[in-house]
Amino acid sequence: MTPDSILLTIAVLGGTGKEGKGLAYRWAKAGYRVIIGSRTNEKAKVAADDLNEMLGKEIIEGLQNLNAAKKADILVLTVPYSAHIPTLESVKDAAQGKILVDVTVPLIPPKVTKVQMPKAGSAAQEAQEILGEGVSVVAAFQNISHEHLFDDHPINCDVLVTGKGKAARLEVLKLVEAAGMKGWDAGVIENAAVVEGMTSLLIYINKQNKVKSAGIKITGVD
């Protein structure tokens, strides 16, 4: 990782869940400045305290989502789909000129093993419509089980990165590497529908095989 990357601040919005906390943990260990965002300061601070205890030092801050978004260079959205639109609308102004990494998958209980895309085509495209052209929305990390993230080892699962603009995707690929995973530039934001839909397939495979951490690997490429 370059020194410039380490100077970046990442706000994990809706970061009190397992996926958000796991990614925050890995990025903090890699040297990024990390803020946990939540709907309330209290929830954010509890999550940040938990992670700081795991890390053995006070390096992660907890703030309400909007304040976290204002202080960060890169925003990472890790909310359930039911909170997707309200959270995006709440941070729209603070997100302008920044990259927003959308980890959200449009899972609609109880049929979470069934692919169900929103009218926009994908959660990432929905985010781009809401935030506007001033924000580069990149979809990533949808196919990574949180079961992996708190283990201190490289994760044997690849991350497909799709989104608006080559430069934004390359920046997110740095985050993938910092989190201990192999990332692939998977093209434009329209391709996010394939990656998000794959999560329902993986949930089905997990259930069928009584496991919790099925993932994907790209083969045939050096």
99-102, strands of its sheet edge to edge: 60-64, 33-38, 9-13, 74-77, 99-102, 136-139, 158-163, 182-185
CATH class as words, domain 3-209 = alpha beta
Its pTM stands at: 0.93
Strand ranges in the chain using DSSP code E only, listed in sequence order: 9-13, 33-38, 60-64, 74-77, 99-102, 136-139, 158-163, 182-185
Reported as a single tens digit per residue, the pLDDT across 161-212 is: 999 999 999 999 999 999 999 999 999 999 999 999 999 999 999 999 998 8
- What confidence tens digit (pLDDT) does each residue in 9-36 have? 999 999 999 999 999 999 999 999 999 9
As given in the structure block, the two tokens for residue 170 are 């390359």
How many other β-carbons are positioned within 10 Å of the β-carbon of residue 153? 7
Residue type, 105: V
From the CB of residue 40, how many other CB atoms can be counted at a distance below 10 Å? 13
Is the pLDDT confidence value at 90 over 70? yes
Question: pLDDT above 90 covers what percent of the chain?
Answer: 86
CB burial of residue 3 (10 Å; 0-12, 13-18, 19+): exposed
Q: What is the pLDDT of residues 39-87, one digit of tens each?
A: 999 999 999 999 999 999 999 999 999 999 999 999 999 999 999 999 9
Q: Give the pLDDT confidence of 179-188 residue by residue, as tens digits.
A: 999 999 999 9
CB 138 within 8 A of CB 99: yes
Q: Domain boundaries in the chain?
A: 3-209
Please list the helix, strand and coil fractions of the chain in percent, rounded to the nearest 5, in that order. Answer: 45, 15, 35
Residue 63 is predicted with a pLDDT of 98
